[in-house]
Chain A
Amino acid sequence: MKVKVISRSTEDFTRERSQDLHKVFRNYDPNLRTQEKAIEYTRALNAAKLEKIFARPFIGAMDGHIDAVSCMAKNPNHLKGIFSGSMDGDIRLWDIATRRTTCQFSGHEGPVRGLTVSTDGNVLVSCGNDCSVKLWKVPSSFEFSDTVEDAEPLANYVWKYAFRAVDHQWASNIFATGGAQVDIWDHNRSNPVNSYEWGTATIVSLRFNAGEPDVLATSASDRSITIYDLRMSSPARKVIMKTKTNALSWNPMEPMNFTAANEDCNCYTYDARKLDEAKCVHQDHVSAVMDIDYSPTGREFVTGSYDRTVRIFRYNGGHSREIYHTKRMQRVFCVKYSCDGTYVISGSDDTNLRLWKANASEQLGVLLPREVKKQEYLDAVKNRYKHLPEVKRIVRHRHLPKPIYKAAALRRTMVEAERKKEERRRAHSAPGSTSSQPFRKRRIIQEIE
Chain B
Amino acid sequence: MAKLEASEKSTDPDLIKLVDEQEVKDPETVKPQQVEQDGSDLLDVKVQKYLRGEGANLEVLRDKKLKSQLVFREKLYGQSAKAAVKHEQWLMPSEEGFLEPEGFEKTWRITQQSLLNEVDVNSSRKAFDMILPELGPYTMKYTSNGRYLVLGGRKGHLGLIDMLSFDLVKEFQVRETVRDVEFLHTEEFFSVAQKKNLYIYNRHGTEVHCLKEHGTPLRLQFLDKHFLLASLNTFGQLHYQDVTTGEIVANYRTGLGRTDVMRVNPYNSIIGVGHSCGKLTMWKPTSVKPLITMFCNPGPVTAIAFHNNGHLMATAGMDRNIKLWDIRKFEVLHTNFGHASTLDFSQKGLLAVGNRTHVHVWRDYSGNQKYGRYMTHEMVKGYQVNKVAFRPYEDVLGIGHSMGISSILIPGSGEPNFDSWVANPYETKKQRREKEVHSLLDKLPPETIMLEPKEIGTVKQPKQKEKKSKQEMEEEMEAAVGMAKGIKLKKKTKGRNKPSKRAKKKEKEVLKAKRPFVEQLLKEEQPFKKQRTMAEAEAELPVALQRFARKTAA
Contact = CB atoms under 8 A, between A and B. Distances in A.
Contacts of B87: 26, 28
Interface in B309-343: 309-310
Contacts of A27: 88, 92, 415, 417-419, 422
Contact of B50 (A1, A2, A28, A35): A28
Given A10-B426, A25-B93, A35 B268 contact: yes
Contact of B115 (A3, A7, A8, A388): A3
A373 B33 CA distance: 41
Nearest to A28: B84
Interface in B515-552: 551-552
A26 B454 contact: no
B187 interface: no
B98 A37 contact: no
Contacts of B267: 34-35
B17 to A, nearest CB: 28
A6 B395 contact: yes
Contacts of B120: 7
Interface stretch (B100-108, B178-186, B197-205): B100-108
Among A12, A26, A40, find the residue whose CB has the most chain B CB atoms closer than 10 A.
A26
B359 to A, nearest CB: 17
Among A6, A8, A9, A29, find the residue whose CB has the most chain B CB atoms closer than 10 A.
A6
Given A2-B99, A34-B267, A385-B457, A431 B553 contact: yes
A380 to B, nearest CB: 10
Nearest to B122: A7
B97 interface: yes
Contact of A37 (B119, B418, B457): B457
Contact of A2 (B52, B98, B114, B409): B98
A42 B411 contact: no
A374 to B, nearest CB: 11
A172 interface: no
Nearest to B266: A34
B7 interface: no
B97 A29 contact: no
B96 interface: yes
A385 B88 CA distance: 29
Nearest to B428: A22
Given A25-B418, A431-B552, A35 B444 contact: yes
B119 to A, nearest CB: 5
Contacts of A122: none
Nearest to B450: A38
Contacts of B409: 5
Interface of B: 49-50, 52, 84, 87-88, 91-102, 105, 110, 114-115, 118-120, 122-123, 126, 164, 225, 266-269, 308-310, 347, 393-395, 409, 411, 414-426, 428, 431, 441-445, 448, 453-454, 456-457, 551-554
Closest 6 CB pairs of A and B: A431-B553, A38-B448, A5-B395, A28-B84, A2-B100, A27-B419
12 contacts: A1-B99, A1-B114, A3-B118, A4-B97, A4-B98, A6-B395, A14-B426, A29-B419, A37-B454, A39-B225, A39-B444, A46-B441
Interface of A: 1-10, 12-14, 22-35, 37-43, 46, 384-385, 387-388, 431-432
